[in-house]
Structure 1
Amino acid sequence: MWCWRRMLRISWQEHKTNVFDRNLIGEDSVTLSSKIYKNKLQYFGHISRRAGDNLEKIFMQGCVAGSRRRGRQKLRWTDGIKELTGLSINVAYRSALDRQKWNYIINRVTQGQP
């Protein structure tokens, strides 16, 4: 916000709210969490659509042999994808191959619609 205020030449003494600044910019009610979710899902779709055997795709789809430790399990990156989309990781992967379908899912998640 400080950077935007400098560009718009709004002094801190004017006591303008952040909402007022966002309306001037044209960025109404985009929250930081929705931006993070959108970037995370876009990256998942990007990696899912990549061709060949690249390292990111192998890590994302890979399954390590063995069992997890006792106690509360640490969250994996794919667990976050499952929680955001409400889909299993295999269904999310297949959905990401179709760009239009994946963009619809991203918009649904970032808009807060069920």
Structure 2
Amino acid sequence: MNFEQLSEQQILAIAEPIMGNLMDASTHRDHARHIRDFTGRLQAIVTPDYFECVCRQYQAEKGFFTTRTPVAVFRRPDSAAIIWRQSFTKAPGEFVAEMMLVHRDGRYWVDHVMVF
């Protein structure tokens, strides 16, 4: 799989439902659903305790995720980085949501994801 051969629209069509699931699962604090598309490396980092701590903190400070708008897609041969403009229910202003998408063993995986 060479991500450089995919258009931004093709990459977004793959990434949007994955990111939507990640955010919905974190809203509902569903660890198993949240990590279902994570690489093994990322699953090892996002343990149930770590996940619960992060969810509790961002929900208290920022509220819940609202609108997300694509900003950029960066393509590399072996991965794609997707950047969105993200909003929350309680925190004013614009935030950055990012995801690193890879393709292994015939499917797409998240190898890095963050909102800041």
- TM-score, normalising length from structure 1? 0.31
Max Rg structure: 1
Task: Give the strand-richer structure, 1 or 2.
Answer: 2
